[in-house]
Every structure is written in C-alpha cells, then in structure tokens.
Amino acid sequence: MDENINRTATIAQALAHPLRLRILELLREQGAYVMHLTATLQRPQANISQHLAILREAGLVQDEREGMTVVYRVVDPRIFDVIEQIQQLDLVRRESTEWAPQRAHHGRGMRCRCPRCRGDYAQAR
C-alpha cells in the first residue's frame, strides 16, 4: 500500500482520542511540560506519557529536554487546521462539540508546579 496512505492513517489514529486532542490544544501556543499536562488534565503521568508517545510516534509532537524536565511541542501547527476542519463538518456540529481553545496555562485555583506555572504564581504575587 502507498506509504502516504499509511502515514495518513497513523496521523488520523493519533488524533482519534479526546485526551490526545486536549493534549495537542495544551501544547498549541508554546508547548508544555509533562507535569503541566498531568495537572491540567488530572490524569496520572503514565497515562499522559502513553498518549504523548502515540502523538510522538505519529510525528505530531516532539520532546525537548529542558533542564531537569521535558517540554513537548507541536511539530507542525497546521494540524490544528485539520482538527478545525473536522470540527466544521456538519456531522460534528450536530453534536455541538465546541473546539474551544484552552489557554495553554490554566487559571487560578489549579495547582501545577511546572516551571512556567511556578513563574506565573510568582508574578501574580
């Protein structure tokens, strides 16, 4: 079978989970630390790592070591055009699933100790 078809299926499979779509959204602006994803999505790290691995193997995200921790980033932001195209289908709209971009950083009241959020707390004081 055509290699392009296989790659397309791999990418479609990587997108085919609500949690992975949420992860991508959280990585959208500037990437995020794994601990930021676990804190925001309220999932165990093992679970988040599993989903990140699927996204990485599909080539959608890449990991970068930053000091003691790892930051994940979206490789090609055009993937969000694809997701938005799917969201525009009447099929989806009927279900009224809003693709509401979340802030890369969560609001008050949520506890995340990733380096960026720690910085936000420091600034807020």
Q: Which residues bind Zn ion (CB under 5 A)?
A: 36, 112, 114, 117
Q: How far apart are CA 60 and CA 107, in angstroms?
A: 26
Residue 102 CB, shortest distance to Zn ion, in Å, is 13
Tell the smallest beta-carbon distance from residue 10 to Zn ion (Å).
29
Residue 32 C-beta: closest distance to Zn ion, Å? 7
Residue closer to Zn ion, measured from CB, 58 or 117: 117
Q: Are strands 61-66 and 32-33 parallel, antiparallel or unpaired?
A: unpaired
Nearer to Zn ion, 23 or 114 (CB): 114
Distance in angstroms between the alpha carbons of the first and the last residue of the chain: 58
Residue 66 identity (one-letter amino acid): E
